[in-house]
Amino acid sequence: MKPLLFAANWKMHQAPAAAREFLGIFLNAHAPVAERQVWFFPPAVSLVAVVDGTRGRRDLLVGVQNVYWEPRGAFTGEISAGMARDAGARAVLVGHSERRHVFGETDEQTAKKVKAALDGELTPILCVGEQLAEREARKTVAVVERQLAPFAGWPAEQLARLVIAYEPVWAIGKGRNATPQDAAEVHAAIRSWFESRGVAPHELRVLYGGSVNRGNVAALVAEPEINGVLVGGASLDPAGWAAIVRTGV
Which are the catalytic amino acids?
A: 96, 167
CA-wise closest residue to 241 among 35, 62, 27, 43: 27
How buried is residue 88: exposed, middle or buried, by Cβ count under 10 Å (0-12/13-18/19+)? middle
For 26, the 3-state DSSP assignment is helix
How buried is residue 108: exposed, middle or buried, by Cβ count under 10 Å (0-12/13-18/19+)? exposed
- Helices and strands (H, E) in the chain, number of each type: 11, 8
Residue 153: CB atoms within 10 A of its CB come to: 7
> Which amino acid makes up residue 92?
V
CA distances from 122 to 18, 46, 66, 80, 125 (A): 25, 18, 11, 11, 10
**Main-chain phi, psi angles of 112, to 5 degrees:** -65, -35
Residues 6+ apart with CB under 8 A from 166: 128, 129, 144, 183, 186, 187, 190, 206, 207, 208, 209
Contact 1, 227 (CB under 8 A): yes
